Amino acid sequence: MRAIIRGLTDADFERLYGTEASCLAALVVVRQAAGMPCPRCSNPKSYVYGRRVGCTRCNTRWSITAGTVMADTKLPLTTWFRAMHLMTSTKQCISAVELTRRLGVTYETGWYLHKRLRHAMAEETDRCQLGGPGDSGSTPIVEADDVYLGGERNEGSGTAGKIRVIAACERYSSGRMGAVVMRVVSSFSNEEASAIRDAHIAPGAQVLTDGTPAFHVLGEARRTHYAIITGGKRPARERDAPFFAINTMISNLSTALKATHKLFSAKHLPDYLGAFCWTTNRRSNMKGMIGALFCAVVAATRLTRRTVYA
């Protein structure tokens, strides 16, 4: 699937995925490749008719979108595909307002669609591990930092009203930046830092921080931690300087949040961060992104309106 969609222009995209039938065919290919066992008897064999799937043994029937983040959608598949194309073909992830405008749907529909696509991206980011051996055989170092986001402009340098985030980014010895992960935390505590280590820092990884007290735990459980105390000095701007990668990522995030999400809430920030990291981590293959997002959407867990609006 990724190979098929790779390198599409807007015109190619419309020609190939502009009809309901072509989008359905693409969805069937990806779902069958991932396996669609019968929800009742687990029989791996099924047949597809329209947007429905039937079990060849017990004849249970279900929707082709069941069990994915697309479950229960009333939207045409063409709208889903166009939304995925818009979410991945812009450098800074498109806002819900802009997505709504471009798709010609109501804001409620556009926002919920945007939310489900962000959810699919965030779930994949949740499985991302940093600091393991890279493709080229070299192992990147992981730079981690504590970040405050949001809050009122005139609150001075205090942290009132701000959301706390721990960010980590890979940096190769060549200066090249690898994958990035960001997570909202309640405080910069040992517990929060340990949870991020276990979820996102590969065993054996080397982690560099500015010495924030809780970050010493990033060096436990078979990881190694180094601290460079910067003392609030301006970071060096050279590509291979310590903290260049993480500072660049935090700066990119700040730009993206200002440009596309002028208002963001603590409740939805985890998804925005997950989507930002997802897009950033696939930046070297812009053209392959829609295929990757489509696979993430099919693999993502269900999200209901009730949980979203709770």
Question: Which residues contact Zn ion (rule: CB under 5 A)?
Answer: 38, 40-41, 43, 55, 57-58, 60
Nearer to Zn ion, 43 or 285 (CB): 43
Report, in angstroms and rounded to the nearest whole number, the Rg of the chain calculated over CA atoms: 21
Least distance to Zn ion, CB of residue 47, Å: 11
Nearer to Zn ion, 2 or 57 (CB): 57
Least distance to Zn ion, CB of residue 51, Å: 18
Q: In this structure, what token pair is assigned to residue 293? A: 């997002």
Nearer to Zn ion, 57 or 102 (CB): 57
The Cα–Cα gap between 92 and 257 comes to 9
Least distance to Zn ion, CB of residue 36, Å: 11
Least distance to Zn ion, CB of residue 49, Å: 15
Sign of the C-alpha dihedral, residues 22, 25, 29, 32? positive
Least distance to Zn ion, CB of residue 41, Å: 3
Nearer to Zn ion, 57 or 162 (CB): 57
3-state secondary structure the chain: CHHHHCCCCHHHHHHHHCCHHHHHHHHHHHHHHHCCCCCCCCCCCEEEECCEEEECCCCCEEECCCCCCCCCCCCCHHHHHHHHHHHHHCCCCCCHHHHHHHHCCCHHHHHHHHHHHHHHHHHHHHCCCECCCCCCCCCCEEEEEEEEECCCHHHCCCCCCCEEEEEEEEECCCCCEEEEEEEEECCCCHHHHHHHHHHHECCCCEEEECCCHHHHHHHCCCCEEEECCCCCCCCCCCCCCCCHHHHHHHHHHHHHHHHHCCCCCCCCHHHHHHHHHHHHHCHHHHHHHHHHHHHHHHHCCCCCHHHHHC
Least distance to Zn ion, CB of residue 59, Å: 7
Least distance to Zn ion, CB of residue 67, Å: 14
Nearer to Zn ion, 62 or 188 (CB): 62
Least distance to Zn ion, CB of residue 183, Å: 39
Nearer to Zn ion, 4 or 41 (CB): 41
Nearer to Zn ion, 15 or 40 (CB): 40
β-bridge pairing 206-209 and 224-227? parallel
Nearer to Zn ion, 60 or 194 (CB): 60
